[in-house]
Amino acid sequence: MLIPFVVIAVSGSLKSFGNLLAAQKISEPELKEPDFVPIRKGLLADGFSTALAGLLGGMAVDTSSSNIGLAGATKVVSRWISVGAGVIFIIMAFFPKLITVLSLMPKPVLGASIIFSGCFMIIIGLQQIFSEEWNQRRTFVVGISLFFGLSTAFLPELYARAPHFIQTFFTDPLPTTTILAVVLNQIFNFDIVIGNLKRKYIKNS
């Protein structure tokens, strides 16, 4: 079970990284380049809260893409809203019947809210992707990753005859796309990585 856990952990961390990057872009649009200090702290907080939830016997927690999209739509980005929402959810944990009532949201309302917030999240992600100089390498990395990632949802039978080890990596769009993007990015930019290592070696020597 070690490999699936590593796959999920890496995918979840990169997803949280993307969410934090999008949240920073919404809250601080004047930044020309990402400030990785608060993003690093956000990733640490996400990992710590997930580990704490596991130790307490609860479900894993994660950053919310839909809420970031909602913040982008409403332009309300104060962190005190999150603090207030957290306090409310802690109080609601002692009233399970109330949680049951809230979970009975009509599916049309839920679907409309997901579409509303999802539109903003997708556009923010696309803006982030195309904010830097584009080239053929990035085209193949993104294209191949999306192609195989989406195929796990729409054509899962493609991997039915593959070895069990391979099927572990092709079960869900998020981990599949994430893993392929990371691996292909390293492969397609291998010469750049080697060049940087050589320059560092020459500089240090």
Let me know: does 124 contact 25? Beta carbons within 8 Å. Answer: yes
Look up tokens 């869900």; give the residue: 172
Domain ranges of the chain: 1-131, 133-205
Please tell me the pTM assigned to this model: 0.66
pLDDT by position in tens, the chain (length 205) = 777 777 777 777 888 888 888 888 888 878 777 888 888 998 898 888 888 888 888 777 888 777 777 777 777 888 888 888 889 888 888 888 887 877 777 888 878 877 877 777 777 777 777 777 778 888 888 888 888 888 888 887 777 777 777 777 777 787 788 888 888 888 888 777 777 777 777 777 6
